[in-house]
């Protein structure tokens, strides 16, 4: 595939079966939730068009670690994927609102508050969050009851990640117009971006029955994947167009935010991302040399252009 094409296309082509399943599962759960109007329209709108990076990480880690999973393990993994995407979507809906980043474009279409109004957008984010936790323990989903032990572990991981994400968002808002150092910026983004990505990897491993040591190593690597993702977000905010990004280019500059590009320069930020990626690949190989699908996705994300 030519390098000029966005890696998102390559991800979609390479993992089309898994992504299609995630989207289908999301649709089933949202439809089953019987939301009233206009939430029945705004919630699918908010989750639509996403790359499903977090859910895909969860699923690929599960598939790489669990070669002969039980029905209950697979069911809990599918629930985890839904929950991760719902939490991510809720964070974007609230992030885009006028009281926060005040963005009008997301995933190439009007943001939820532009499309439905601020009140509906706020409530859409609220219900997306509650649906994320409900799906982990719902009585019957895909004709399989939840596994109580796995459900508890997943809920602990996701709730911790969601708390850290919001904490990171708060710190991000407070840091506007401030010049942060690398340590402060890294701590902020380990929460804001890294926590949910870390949870995605660990949740996939939990569903696969991974041992505590494996969970620890994967969690450490996944936190760095989150930093790589954020550094590239900062790079793309400067180098990519609005059309490619699907959201306003230069929004960080508009808000006066400290970024890895303002801190290190464009070349320095790209070098930092590459160094972190090399470390992540070594860590993943130390868990199991054959984490093929997971490592393929991480490499694609490290080269993304949107």
Residue 254 has phi, psi (to 5 degrees) of -60, -35
- Dump pLDDT digits (tens) for 186-223: 999 999 999 999 999 999 999 999 999 999 999 999 99
Which pLDDT value is given to residue 2?
37
Residue 102 has phi, psi (to 5 degrees) of 55, 55
pLDDT at 8 over 90: no
pLDDT at 74 over 80: yes
pLDDT at 85 over 80: yes
Which pLDDT value is given to residue 256?
72
- Of residues 87 and 253, more confidence is placed in 87
- The CA angle 257-261-265, to the nearest 5 degrees, is 140
Which pLDDT value is given to residue 41?
96
Report residue 250's pLDDT band, with 50, 70 and 90 as the boundaries.
low
Which pLDDT value is given to residue 290?
84
Give, in order, the Cα–Cα distances in Å from 133 to each of 138, 152, 262.
9, 11, 37
The owner of tokens 């090399």 is 278
Which pLDDT value is given to residue 306?
60
Residue 109 has phi, psi (to 5 degrees) of -140, 165
Report residue 71's pLDDT band, with 50, 70 and 90 as the boundaries.
very high
pLDDT at 246 over 70: no
Q: Please, what's the largest Cα pairwise distance for the chain?
A: 52
- Dump pLDDT digits (tens) for 165-191: 999 999 988 887 788 899 999 999 999
pLDDT at 31 over 90: yes
The domain segmentation of the chain, as residue ranges, is 7-302
Which pLDDT value is given to residue 305?
67
Which pLDDT value is given to residue 243?
65
Note whether 263 and 231 are within 8 A (CB): no
Which pLDDT value is given to residue 245?
60
pLDDT at 135 over 80: yes
Report residue 7's pLDDT band, with 50, 70 and 90 as the boundaries.
very low
Report residue 107's pLDDT band, with 50, 70 and 90 as the boundaries.
confident
Q: What is the mean pLDDT of residues 102-131?
A: 93
Note whether 158 and 136 are within 8 A (CB): yes
Report residue 239's pLDDT band, with 50, 70 and 90 as the boundaries.
confident
Q: What is the pTM assigned to this prediction?
A: 0.91
Question: Mean pLDDT of all residues in the chain?
Answer: 90
Say which CATH superfamily domain 7-302 falls into. Answer: Farnesyl Diphosphate Synthase (1.10.600.10)
Q: What is the mean pLDDT of residues 288-300?
A: 91
Note whether 236 and 266 are within 8 A (CB): no
pLDDT at 4 over 60: no
Report residue 5's pLDDT band, with 50, 70 and 90 as the boundaries.
very low
Taking alpha carbons only, the member of 197, 48, 194 closest to residue 111 is 48
Which pLDDT value is given to residue 106?
87
Task: Tell me the C-alpha distance between 116 and 265, whole Å.
Answer: 38
């Amino acid at each position: 595939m030519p390098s000029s094409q966005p890696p998102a296309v390559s991800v979609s082509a390479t993992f089309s079966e898994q992504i299609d399943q995630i989207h289908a599962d999301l649709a089933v759960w949202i439809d089953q939730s019987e939301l009233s109007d206009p939430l029945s329209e705004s919630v699918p709108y908010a989750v639509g068009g996403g790359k499903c990076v977090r859910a895909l990480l969860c699923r690929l880690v599960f598939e790489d670690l669990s070669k002969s999973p039980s029905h209950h393990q697979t069911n809990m993994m599918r629930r985890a994927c839904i929950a991760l995407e719902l939490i991510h979507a809720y964070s974007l809906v609230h992030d885009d609102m006028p009281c926060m980043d005040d963005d009008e474009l997301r995933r190439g279409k009007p943001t939820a508050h532009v499309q439905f109004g601020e009140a509906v957008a706020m409530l859409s984010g609220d219900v997306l969050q509650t649906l994320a936790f409900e799906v982990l323990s719902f009585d019957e989903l895909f004709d399989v009851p939840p596994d109580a032990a796995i459900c508890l572990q997943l809920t602990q991981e996701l709730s911790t990640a969601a708390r850290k994400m919001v904490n990171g968002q708060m710190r991000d808002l407070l840091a506007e117009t401030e010049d942060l150092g690398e340590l402060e910026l890294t701590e902020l983004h380990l929460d804001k971006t890294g926590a949910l990505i870390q949870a995605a990897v660990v949740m996939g491993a939990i569903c696969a029955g991974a041992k505590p040591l494996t969970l620890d190593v994967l969690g450490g690597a996944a936190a760095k994947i989150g930093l790589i993702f954020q550094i590239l977000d900062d790079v793309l905010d400067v180098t990519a167009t609005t059309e490619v990004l699907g959201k306003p280019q230069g929004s960080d500059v508009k808000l006066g935010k400290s970024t890895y590009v303002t801190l290190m320069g464009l070349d320095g930020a790209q070098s930092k991302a590459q160094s972190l990626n090399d470390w992540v690949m070594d860590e993943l190989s130390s868990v199991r040399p054959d984490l093929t699908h997971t490592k393929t996705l991480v490499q694609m994300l490290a080269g993304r252009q949107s």
